[in-house]
Amino acid sequence: MTNSSPSLPVAPADIDAAARVLAPFAVRTPLLSLPALDERVGAKVFLKPEMLQRTGSFKFRGAFNKLSSIPQAARGGGVVAFSSGNHAQGVAAAAQILNMRATIVMPADAPRSKRERTMGYGAEVVLYDRDREDREAIARRIAGKHGATLVPPYDDPQVIAGQGTVGREIAEDMAALGLTPDIVIAPASGGGLVAGVATAVLSRYPQAVVMSAEPEGFDDHARSLSVGRREAHQAEGRTICDALMASIPGEITFAVNQRLLVRGVTASDAEVGAAVAFVFRELKLVVEPGGAVGLAALLAGRVEARGKTIAIVLSGGNVDADLYARLIA
Amino acid sequence: MTNSSPSLPVAPADIDAAARVLAPFAVRTPLLSLPALDERVGAKVFLKPEMLQRTGSFKFRGAFNKLSSIPQAARGGGVVAFSSGNHAQGVAAAAQILNMRATIVMPADAPRSKRERTMGYGAEVVLYDRDREDREAIARRIAGKHGATLVPPYDDPQVIAGQGTVGREIAEDMAALGLTPDIVIAPASGGGLVAGVATAVLSRYPQAVVMSAEPEGFDDHARSLSVGRREAHQAEGRTICDALMASIPGEITFAVNQRLLVRGVTASDAEVGAAVAFVFRELKLVVEPGGAVGLAALLAGRVEARGKTIAIVLSGGNVDADLYARLIA
């Protein structure tokens, strides 16, 4: 397993460059450990709390890196994005910092907190019906009308490189502790985060096993990795992991993930809820359901953890208060 | 204003020593900032998230430093402490690490989560009636019977020095950022945290204004600092800040605070609740009511913040899920 092949769309050097672009604006989130967690799973576990990132999720990293790559001449047209919420906030906040106009196409059933926070960063929000309308088509129409640049949520090398700074920081902090990660787990929707994390971590620790984590049923990465080609999940309902509902891995992200990831793990909504409550009780951090799916898989015994050194990305904390109150009850 | 006087019971060097004792066991919590908070109050605000500390509050620091100072010959008798909760967990966790027996005298109405977590660290819990019994007398009786060492919650130089490592880290991180704190605020119950923080911060930044923060009515520090002698508060009811209900500043802590603190600020339960919800929504951290009282005072406009560089200690995150759910609703 290597990620130094020139054929991959994102190289470790791209992530180094993204880290330099992000340094003045992104939070360098710490790497947390918790004796009670280590005892419970019999491993050394480190958590990367991206809810502490600007906008409350890792998505700011990819969005800001992407927007920073737009040539000055094209910035006047602004940006447009489609997103179930966290990417929306990332793009809106990045556009605000860079003084660009942002339009966000968002499902009408996205958590209220995510809509309000997106508007709070000065973006215009256009709602669509998740079951009947095509968000990509709407976003492209807006892009065409305003001359705006479309900012994909995951299937873009600059976005993946930005998210990869999460993995770069994990690797740096592990090195500072004198530790070598055996297993690294990151949530996957379109697969941009885990692709970037895998690229960065494996460039420093080529023996690490990197896994995607998904809600039970919404397991398109687990399936695709297993069969070796992009395959959609079969879920028809909803999951409390509203951030992880993409139906199929991205083309670019899967080109990376197929090469770098070993497998995907999943967790049920009940297991995710238990992980959210665990993080409330033991870590005093607010994690959104989708952000806790990797930890949920670990706590549910889906990862052979004993004796291992494990890093898990908690990818965000944007959750409505009423759902959160129910999950921690 | 100076804290280098030999007459003070805790010196900066004691805090340096505590930092060395704590280094292998305590979490070095980060210093967080939040653009939305800076904009709201027109200041550069830094938050010290001690809910991320081992046991979920700063209290582990003082407890571990104190227990580490007990001579080997006296360790067999174990330790006893009285506490409304966070000190209990700190002592229990420190005793567990140092392989000592711990008995904790705790009010019967303390949050369930705090009782359970204390027992989870292997301590024996003895409950008492907050309105009718004298916790100090009960603790002393137990200490006499077992030959245990009493670990005071605040009025002890080793405890204060341990809590002072919070201020030492704030000062170090501010220096690394090239910033000078104008104002530093820490919650006060018996006053050990703010005494230690003031000692450490002022040794590096002698011009800083250090303030205690208390719940409205439970304002014994604000009163005492104002009149120049230890004075009890006049509150008869309860506050949601269960960790901040001491009736009068400690003798040792007030000897420090009278010299080093400029004044005390307060916040109402409603303002504290709003601060807890703000920290949930914007910072994705779980802060308990008492831990948020400094930030609550800032958000309520009780601090002349505009243009200043401010550090505020969020002192803990041990809050029952039902109260928390109500506060973030």
SS3 B244: helix
Q: Are residues A90 and A162 in the same domain?
A: no
Q: Are residues B18 and B82 in the same domain?
A: no
Q: Do B280 and A32 touch (CB under 8 A)?
A: no
Question: What's the confidence (pLDDT) of residue A110?
Answer: 79
Give the helix/strand (H/E) hosting A39: helix A35-41
Say yes or no to pLDDT of A298 above 90.
yes
Say yes or no to pLDDT of A2 above 60.
no
How many distinct structural domains can be found in chain A? 2
**Residue A326 burial class via C-beta count within 10 angstroms: exposed 0-12, middle 13-18, buried 19 and up:** middle
Give the helix/strand (H/E) hosting B62: helix B59-68
Q: Are residues B70 and B165 in the same domain?
A: no
A59 touches chain B (CB under 8 A): no
Q: Do B287 and A284 touch (CB under 8 A)?
A: yes
What is the Cα–Cα distance from B112 to B322, expressed in whole angstroms?
A: 11
What is the Cα–Cα distance from A284 to B70, expressed in whole angstroms?
A: 31
B176 touches chain A (CB under 8 A): no
Residue of A nearest to B34 (CA): A54
Flag whether B6 is in a domain.
no
Question: What's the confidence (pLDDT) of residue B85?
Answer: 84
Given A150, A165, A195, the domain boundary residue is: A150
Question: What's the confidence (pLDDT) of residue A310?
Answer: 98
Nearest to A284 among B30, B281, B317 (CB): B317
Q: Are residues B123 and B262 in the same domain?
A: no
A62 strand-pairing partners = none
B280 touches chain A (CB under 8 A): yes
ipTM score here? 0.89
B71: Cα within 13 Å, side-chain hemisphere: 2
Say yes or no to pLDDT of A3 above 60.
no
B286 touches chain A (CB under 8 A): yes
**In the 8-state DSSP scheme, what is residue A315?**
-
Nearest to B284 among A277, A317, A329 (CB): A317
Q: Are residues A50 and A104 in the same domain?
A: no
pTM for this entry: 0.91
Confidence band, pLDDT 50/70/90 cuts, at residue A109: confident
The 10 Å Cβ neighbour count of residue B263 is: 12
**Residue A75 burial class via C-beta count within 10 angstroms: exposed 0-12, middle 13-18, buried 19 and up:** middle
A/B interface, count of CB pairs below 8 Å = 65
Question: What's the confidence (pLDDT) of residue B136?
Answer: 81
A247: Cα within 13 Å, side-chain hemisphere: 7
Nearest to B286 among A56, A120, A280 (CB): A280
Flag whether B3 is in a domain.
no
B315 touches chain A (CB under 8 A): no
Q: Are residues B82 and B48 in the same domain?
A: no
Say yes or no to pLDDT of A265 above 80.
yes
Owning domain of residue B322:
12-57+156-328
Flag whether A141 is in a domain.
yes
Q: Are residues A161 and A115 in the same domain?
A: no
Residues 240-279 of B with CB under 8 A from A: 277
Say yes or no to pLDDT of A246 above 90.
no
Test the B interface: residue of A278, A284, A318, A322 with most B CBs within 10 Å: A284
Mean pLDDT of A284-309: 97
Q: Do B329 and A322 touch (CB under 8 A)?
A: yes
B81 strand-pairing partners = B104
A35 touches chain B (CB under 8 A): yes
| Contacts A322 to B, Cβ<8 Å | 329
**Residue B236 burial class via C-beta count within 10 angstroms: exposed 0-12, middle 13-18, buried 19 and up:** exposed
Flag whether B233 is in a domain.
yes
The CATH number given to whatever domain includes residue A268 is 3.40.50.1100
A210: left (phi over 0), alpha (psi -120 to 50) or beta: beta
SS3 B275: helix
Flag whether B321 is in a domain.
yes
Nearest to A284 among B56, B321, B329 (CB): B56
Low-confidence ranges of chain B (pLDDT < 70): 1-6, 84
| Contacts B52 to A, Cβ<8 Å | 32, 283-285
Given B133, B150, B167, the domain boundary residue is: B150
Q: Are residues B228 and B272 in the same domain?
A: yes
What is the Cα–Cα distance from A148 to B144, expressed in whole angstroms?
A: 76
Residues 93-132 of B with CB under 8 A from A: 113
Q: Do A30 and B35 touch (CB under 8 A)?
A: no
Q: Are residues B247 and B261 in the same domain?
A: yes
Q: Do B52 and A280 touch (CB under 8 A)?
A: no
Distance from CA of B51 to the nearest CA of A (A): 6
Structure tokens at A36: 């009670």
Q: Do A286 and B284 touch (CB under 8 A)?
A: yes
Given A128, A150, A172, the domain boundary residue is: A150
A26 touches chain B (CB under 8 A): no
Flag whether B137 is in a domain.
yes
Residues 6+ apart with CB under 8 A from B138: B82, B105, B126, B128
Flag whether A3 is in a domain.
no
Structure tokens at A25: 């604006």
Question: What's the confidence (pLDDT) of residue A6?
Answer: 56
Q: Are residues A228 and A91 in the same domain?
A: no
A327 touches chain B (CB under 8 A): no
Q: Are residues B277 and B318 in the same domain?
A: yes
Structure tokens at A270: 């009940």
Q: Are residues B201 and B231 in the same domain?
A: yes
Flag whether B4 is in a domain.
no
Question: What's the confidence (pLDDT) of residue B205?
Answer: 98
Confidence band, pLDDT 50/70/90 cuts, at residue A1: very low
